[in-house]
């Protein structure tokens, strides 16, 4: 690794948007740490990249000890971190608000919110102490950080909270040259969102098929955010399928 090569960490990197972003960063010449709970899809993504700059690390972002081990590996292997794409997340089974269980709520909070906090804190500490100081944290928000879908309380609540986390990291990171931004994604076609192509509930109770965009477009946007000099930041970016029902009344 030469002095001008950069190191990125992508959580939830084995599938979907995380995988697309990890592969895009590898194509741009980054060393990329691919983190996720299951090592098999991480290894598959690394193999698909054809790059020797990919490092898969099995990590449960909801567990402090697992996140600590991840950042210890990054520090030992590379000595620094330039970019974190804080992407790992889950949704709860679709259920009426009154029927959600505590365990369903807590699982989403543990991964989407606590996991994002733990990874951001690990990155923040490393970026603060490294030379040259600083780096960039990009949080995966969602269109749900602006407006909910029906029956999505855990997911929507955590994505609203991610916006608060983004704002506070952006503020607290200024003195250490740490930039923080958020990308809010609407209808990127992944394994988890494929059902939208067959119809999803709308606010008026109807079921409608929604337009989708390729996940590679999201990856390109994240690469753009990551490539900015630390003197410049995109605090919030929304990227969505042009005709999805979000702007206005649908």
Residues taking part in catalysis:
155
Q: What are phi and psi of 180, to 5 degrees?
A: -135, 130
Q: How many CB atoms lie within 10 A of CB 40?
A: 11
Distance of alpha carbon 27 from alpha carbon 23, whole angstroms? 6
By residue count, the chain amounts to 250
Q: How many CB atoms lie within 10 A of CB 212?
A: 19
Radius of gyration of the chain (CA): 18
Question: Sign of the CA dihedral 20, 24, 27, 33?
Answer: negative
Query: Nearest-CA neighbor of 140 among 102, 84, 220, 179?
Result: 84
Query: Nearest-CA neighbor of 246 among 183, 184, 189?
Result: 184
Distance of alpha carbon 85 from alpha carbon 29, whole angstroms? 16
- The enclosing H or E element of 139 equals strand 135-140
In Å, the largest CA–CA distance within the chain is: 56
Distance of alpha carbon 172 from alpha carbon 134, whole angstroms? 12
Q: What are phi and psi of 89, to 5 degrees?
A: -170, 160
């Amino acid at each position: 690794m030469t002095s001008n090569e950069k190191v990125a960490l992508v959580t939830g990197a084995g599938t979907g948007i995380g995988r697309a972003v990890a592969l895009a960063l590898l194509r741009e010449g980054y060393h990329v740490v691919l983190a996720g709970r299951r090592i098999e899809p991480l290894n598959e993504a690394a193999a698909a990249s054809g790059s020797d700059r990919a490092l898969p690390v099995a990590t449960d972002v909801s567990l402090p000890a697992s996140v600590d081990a991840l950042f210890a590996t990054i520090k030992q292997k590379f000595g620094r971190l330039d970019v974190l794409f804080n992407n790992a997340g889950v949704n709860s089974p679709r259920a009426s608000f009154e029927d959600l269980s505590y365990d369903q709520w807590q699982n989403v909070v543990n991964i989407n919110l606590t996991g994002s906090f733990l990874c951001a804190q690990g990155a923040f500490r490393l970026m603060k102490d490294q030379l040259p100081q600083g780096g960039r944290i990009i949080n995966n928000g969602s269109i749900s950080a602006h407006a909910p879908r029906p029956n999505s309380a855990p997911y929507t609540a955590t994505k609203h909270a991610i916006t608060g986390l983004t704002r506070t990291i952006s503020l607290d990171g200024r003195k250490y040259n740490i930039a923080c931004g958020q990308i809010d994604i609407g209808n990127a076609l992944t394994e988890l969102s494929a059902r939208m192509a067959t119809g999803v509930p709308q606010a008026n109770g109807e079921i409608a098929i929604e337009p989708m965009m390729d996940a590679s477009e999201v990856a390109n946007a994240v690469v753009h955010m990551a490539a900015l000099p630390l003197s410049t930041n995109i605090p919030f970016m929304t990227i969505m399928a042009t005709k999805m029902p979000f702007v206005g009344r649908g």
